[in-house]
């Protein structure tokens, strides 16, 4: 298995947003690279000894790039290892993951980043890119070694779940990061204003007797960050927005020409606060699930490009962390395996064009992270997902490959199944192997 056999996928619908391509054609893969992909791909003929896949009725997209994945290694291997996250990613058609630095120890220096890269090389079947902390220990006090970490191959800097409270420090980090062209990804949740809030502030939280997190706790730091981004000229990315009003703020910033991008988690495109029902802790997320109007506004912002990328925000928590009273439970949900199927709901409902959905999970995050992935252009590494857009399936617990089972899509019905995932031309997941054991 060291060198992947040549592969030919025929009669397949190819969507490659980086080339604005949506056509039925052929894809030729040799030595782990795409030789040709498109309607005229067979001009050069099929390579010798190629595996030929009949792609009739199927969709081929670039492998997904997920820019927000929490793992448990090092320090929380009972929740998720790099290997188990990688297996979950492969099953979801995700071929590249940006891992968050919220580990123990924190990924805030070169040695730890190298540990993640080395472990990934030895144990992972997908590409793993560690993000490093903006501040040492994620404490929001001292900036980490942005230059050295960039030199070691780190593609993005983030304090993960944490928001830097001190505006002076954040300004200096942004100013410094600009010289290294480093990407600053920032969660925008004001911890003080959120207080002990555990769900969206509003009538529902009031009836449940749960402390609410106000919308302003997201909007105020977002507005602050965008002003500092304009001031410093750094590459800024708002990691995970959840409110219609945040989308409005982002839209105006882009109109003013600020070099900023934004992400949304698939959860905030798919679910709303009502899903919490009677204290269902799998729906305890940060930022919290918002009102239906906010979910709809996020979908609209995704469609019009105000929101650039969709992330899974994969956040494994073990049963002990979730089987608690709502306010005492850990927040977060796994998502690598459901990112694409859940996103395809937006296609089936007609809310967002399919090509835009694919772009937001492939070309757009690849561009943001400066990766030569997320495209099927000739010469690219053959990271791909073969998808049956129409196939229905039930996301039951026994399907879950992640070590933790805290999914917000427990027993959800999806339409759109990943059949096979390729990384550098090699098959790293195949749905047909699942039933075969």
Partner 1 sequence: MSATLPFPPFGQRHLLGIARLQPHEIEQLIDLAEAEVAVSRRRDKKKSTLKGRTQINLFFEASTRTQASFELAGKRLGADVMNMAVANSSVKKGETLIDTAMTLNAMQPDILIVRHHSAGAVALLAQKVACSVVNAGDGAHEHPTQALLDALTIRRHKGRIARLTVTICGDVLHSRVARSNILLLNALGARVRVVAPATLLPNGIESMGVEVYRRMEDGLKDADVVMMLRLQRERMEGSFVPSVREYFRYFGLDAAKLRHARPDALVMHPGPMNRGVEIASEIADGPQSVIEEQVEMGVAVRMAVMSALIGGPEASA
Chain residues binding partner 1 by CB under 8 A are 201-210, 212, 278-279, 320, 323-328
Q: Which is nearer to partner 1, 184 or 204 (CB)?
A: 204
User: For residues 119 and 286, which CB has a smaller minimum distance to partner 1 in the complex?
Assistant: 286
Q: How far is the CB of 276 from partner 1 (least distance, A)?
A: 10
Closest separation in Å from C-beta 241 to partner 1: 21
In angstroms, rounded to a whole number, what is the distance separating the alpha carbons of residues 283 and 302? 22
SS3 160: coil
Closest contact distance (angstroms) between CB of 408 and partner 1 is 17
Work out how close the CB of 324 gets to partner 1 at its nearest, in angstroms, rounded to a whole number. 5
Whether the Cβ atoms of residue 282 and residue 407 lie closer than 8 Å to each other: yes
Residue 415, class by beta-carbon neighbours within 10 Å (0-12 exposed, 13-18 middle, 19+ buried)? Answer: middle
By the 8 A CB rule, do 238 and 231 touch? no
Give the CB-side neighbour count of residue 236, counting CA atoms within 13 A: 31
Peptide bond into 74 cis (omega under 30): yes
Residue whose CB is less far from partner 1, 205 or 238 = 205
Distance CA(13)–CA(343), nearest Å, equals 18
Nearer to partner 1 (CB atom), residue 23 or residue 191 = 191
147-154 long-range Cβ contacts below 8 angstroms, 24+ apart: 147/180, 148/109, 148/110, 149/109, 149/110, 149/113, 150/180, 150/182, 151/110, 152/110, 152/113, 152/114, 153/113, 153/117, 153/129, 154/113, 154/129, 154/130
CB atoms within 10 A of CB 278: 6
Q: Which is nearer to partner 1, 180 or 279 (CB)?
A: 279
Shortest separation between residue 100's beta carbon and partner 1, angstroms = 24
User: In whole angstroms, how close is the CB of 207 to partner 1 at the nearest point?
Assistant: 7
Compare residues 209 and 350 and give the one whose CB is closer to partner 1. Answer: 209
Comparison of 254 and 324: residue with beta carbon closer to partner 1 = 324
Q: How far is the CB of 209 from partner 1 (least distance, A)?
A: 3
């Amino acid at each position: 298995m060291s060198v992947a056999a040549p592969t030919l996928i025929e009669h397949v619908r190819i969507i490659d947003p980086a080339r604005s391509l949506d056509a039925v054609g052929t894809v030729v893969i040799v030595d782990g690279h795409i030789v040709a992909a498109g309607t005229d791909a067979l001009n050069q003929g099929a390579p010798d000894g190629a595996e030929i896949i009949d792609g009739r009725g199927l969709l081929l997209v670039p492998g997904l790039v997920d820019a927000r994945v929490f793992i448990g290694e090092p320090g929380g291997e009972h929740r998720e290892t790099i290997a188990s996250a990688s297996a979950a990613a492969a099953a979801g058609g995700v071929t590249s993951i940006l891992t968050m630095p919220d580990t123990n120890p924190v990924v805030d220096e070169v040695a730890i980043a190298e540990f993640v890269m080395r472990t990934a090389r030895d144990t992972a079947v997908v590409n793993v890119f560690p993000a490093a902390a903006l501040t040492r220990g994620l404490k929001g006090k001292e900036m980490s070694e942005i230059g050295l970490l960039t030199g070691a191959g780190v593609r993005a800097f983030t304090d993960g779940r944490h928001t830097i409270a001190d505006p002076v420090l954040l300004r200096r980090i942004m100013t410094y990061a600009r010289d290294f062209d480093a990407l600053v990804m920032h969660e925008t949740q004001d911890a003080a204003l959120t207080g002990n809030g555990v769900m969206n502030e509003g009538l529902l939280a009031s009836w449940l007797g749960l402390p609410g997190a106000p919308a302003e706790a997201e909007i105020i730091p977002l507005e602050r960050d965008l002003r500092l981004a304009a001031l410093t000229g750094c590459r800024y990315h708002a990691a995970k927005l959840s409110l219609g009003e945040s989308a409005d703020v982002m839209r105006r910033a882009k109109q003013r020409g600020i070099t900023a991008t934004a992400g949304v988690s698939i959860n905030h495109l798919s679910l709303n606060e009502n899903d919490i029902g009677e204290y269902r802790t799998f729906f305890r997320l940060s930022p919290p699930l918002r009102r239906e109007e906010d979910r709809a506004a996020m979908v609209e912002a995704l469609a019009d490009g105000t929101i650039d990328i969709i992330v899974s925000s994969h956040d494994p928590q073990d049963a002990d962390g979730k089987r608690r009273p709502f306010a005492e439970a850990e927040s977060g949900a796994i998502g690598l395996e459901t990112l694409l199927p859940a996103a395809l709901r937006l296609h089936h409902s007609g809310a967002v064009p399919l090509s835009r959905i694919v772009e937001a999970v492939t070309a757009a995050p690849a561009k943001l992270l400066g990766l030569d992935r997320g495209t099927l252009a000739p010469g690219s590494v053959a990271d791909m997902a073969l998808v049956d857009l129409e196939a229905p399936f039930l996301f039951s617990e026994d399907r879950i490959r992640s070590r933790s089972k805290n999914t917000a899509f427990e027993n959800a019905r999806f339409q759109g199944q990943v059949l096979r995932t390729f990384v550098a031309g090699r098959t790293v997941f195949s749905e047909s192997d699942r039933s075969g054991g």
